[in-house]
């Protein structure tokens, strides 16, 4: 599996933690603008990582909710509309909730 991932994701000339205007970014941080600046800087690949923190009742986990399930659809639309040769991947920044690897994005990211 790791070999397959290495064919998809290389970390040379990559920015692997990018927030957009939909999450922590300024209004001008659209996917198109991010891709334009990435190309100018010689970055060949960006990985968009919007927050996905769901409020849970367990005091040891996240106690806030800044997730917007529509955000992923909006970002996919922007990615699809982006006319750039910069490779754009969509991931998420999520909380790891336990030692079994459950995250605050479980069940949603597989949709």
Q: What is the pLDDT of residue 63?
A: 44
Q: Which residues of 35-67 are buried (b: 16+ CB within 10 A; e: fewer)?
A: beebeeeebebbbbbbbbbbeeeeeebbeeeeb
Alpha carbons 61 and 66: distance in angstroms, whole number: 14
Per-residue pLDDT of 18-32, as tens digits, reads 988 887 778 899 999
Alpha carbons 70 and 73: distance in angstroms, whole number: 5
Answer whether residue 5 shows pLDDT above 60: no
Alpha carbons 54 and 52: distance in angstroms, whole number: 6
């Amino acid at each position: 599996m790791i070999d397959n991932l290495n064919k998809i994701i290389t970390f040379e000339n990559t920015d692997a933690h990018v927030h957009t205007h939909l999450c922590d970014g300024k209004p001008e941080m659209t996917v198109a603008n991010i891709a334009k600046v990435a190309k100018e800087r010689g970055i060949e690949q960006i990985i968009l990582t919007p927050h996905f923190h769901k409020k849970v009742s367990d005091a040891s986990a996240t106690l806030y909710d800044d997730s917007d399930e529509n955000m992923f659809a909006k970002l996919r639309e922007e990615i699809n509309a982006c006319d750039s040769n910069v490779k754009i991947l969509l991931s998420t920044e999520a909380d790891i909730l336990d030692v079994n690897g459950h995250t605050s994005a479980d069940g949603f990211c597989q949709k």
